[in-house]
Amino acid sequence: MRYAFRVAYDGSRYFGFVKQPSRPTIEAELLKAFKRCGLYRELKKVRVRTASRTDRGVSAVGQVVALNVFEEPNLSLINACLPDDIAVLAVAEVESEFDPRRQAQNKHYRYVCEAPLNFDLSLAHRAAKLLNGIHNFKYLCKHEQGRSTLGNIKYASVRGREILVFDFIARAFLWQQVRRMVNVLLAVGKGKLNLDELKKMLEGEAKQAMRPAPAEGLILVGIRYPSLVLKPDARTVSKFIKYLRERAHPSYKAMERILLSTQ
């Protein structure tokens, strides 16, 4: 049997999602919990797949993981085996070939941070509109050998006053693309980059690449699929929100609001 799991986590103390030798990761904690619950014995046989390989420090409320298991997963039992900063919110049986990354229609990321002094929101909003569509994001990503830097952003926006909220939706994102797009919008809003310079950057012409914004403000909101819906369990959401309310960064409040909207 193959199941998909919707996972929420605070990424602040982990070295990203993907399992690494001798370093704490989200995937390592999940696999440890699944094994303790008797869902699998040998890792090489379970075909673990994930929707997004989030970087060190990045959090999520809508990560999706799929693997083959021996029996129907028990949500309460799994969460009892996980640390407080990780929660499996929902589980559903899927087809045997389901791949959460390849079959995703859209991925939604949100970034939250305090607004810089004298930030021009209207100008940043105009810059966000320029990001929409197909562009060469060569200077707004960390290049991966053999991978094209062309991308198609379906939705980009920025809003807020004291706290800024950036939203990005696309079928797929390049490495560090979201955090670099955040930084370019911040640069425009602070008057350090003008719209013409951004246009040239999106055409693959720039003096240097934009650096990524800090990871702590980034949240994987969710993944959309053609037919799969993973509605979060109310009791699990409530427990995870209790954990979030003990943290100070604005991203935790944003995660809470997203989770409340799913109920």
C-beta neighbour count of 159 within 10 angstroms: 13
Q: Residue 33: which CATH number? A: 3.30.70.580
Taken in order 195, 196, 197, 201, the sign of the CA dihedral is positive
Q: 43 and 134: one domain? A: no
Tell me: do 40 and 116 sit in the same domain: no
DSSP labels for 152-213?
EEEEEEEEESSEEEEEEEES---TTHHHHHHHHHHHHHTTSS-HHHHHHHHTT--SSPPPPP
Closest CA to 20 of 64, 55, 60, 71: 55
In terms of domains, do 30 and 126 share one?
no
- CA 64-111-123 angle, to 5 degrees, is 140
- 123: domain CATH number is 3.30.70.660
- Pair (85, 118) in one structural domain: no
Which tokens sit at 13?
Answer: 């103390």
pLDDT over threshold 80, residue 113: yes
Alpha-carbon distance values, 74 to 5, 63, 263 (Å): 11, 18, 20
Verify that 133 and 47 share a domain, yes or no: no
**Rounded to an integer, what distance in angstroms lies between the CA atom of residue 229 and that of residue 68?**
18
Residues 130 and 94 placed together within one structural domain of the fold: no
- Residue-wise pLDDT for 196-216, tens only, equals 999 999 998 887 889 999 999
**pLDDT digit string, tens, across residues 14-46:** 999 999 999 999 999 999 999 999 998 888 788
Count of domains observed in the chain: 2
pLDDT at 44: 78
Mean pLDDT of 176-205: 96
If asked whether residues 123 and 200 sit together in one domain, one would say: yes
Active site residues: 55
Pair 192, 248 in one domain: no
When the pLDDT of each residue in the chain is averaged and rounded to a whole number, the result is 95
Report how far residue 64's alpha carbon sits from residue 79's, in angstroms, rounded to the nearest whole number: 15
Q: Both tokens of residue 229?
A: 């819906």
Can you give the pLDDT at residue 263?
85
**Of the residues 185, 200, 217, which one is the last residue of a structural domain?**
217
pLDDT surpassing 80 at residue 235: yes
Q: How far apart are CA 115 and CA 189, in angstroms?
A: 10
pTM, full prediction: 0.95
Residues 96 and 113 in one domain: no
- Do 206 and 122 share a structural domain? yes
- Residue 42 has a pLDDT of 84
What is residue 12's three-state secondary structure? helix
CB 100 within 8 A of CB 64: yes
Q: Given pLDDT bands bounded at 50, 70 and 90, which one contains residue 147?
A: confident
254 contacts: CB under 8 Å, gap ≥ 6: 110, 112, 165, 219
Mean pLDDT of 116-143: 96
Say yes or no: 257 and 154 in one domain: no
Range of the domain at 124: 106-217
Domain identity same for 211 and 254: no
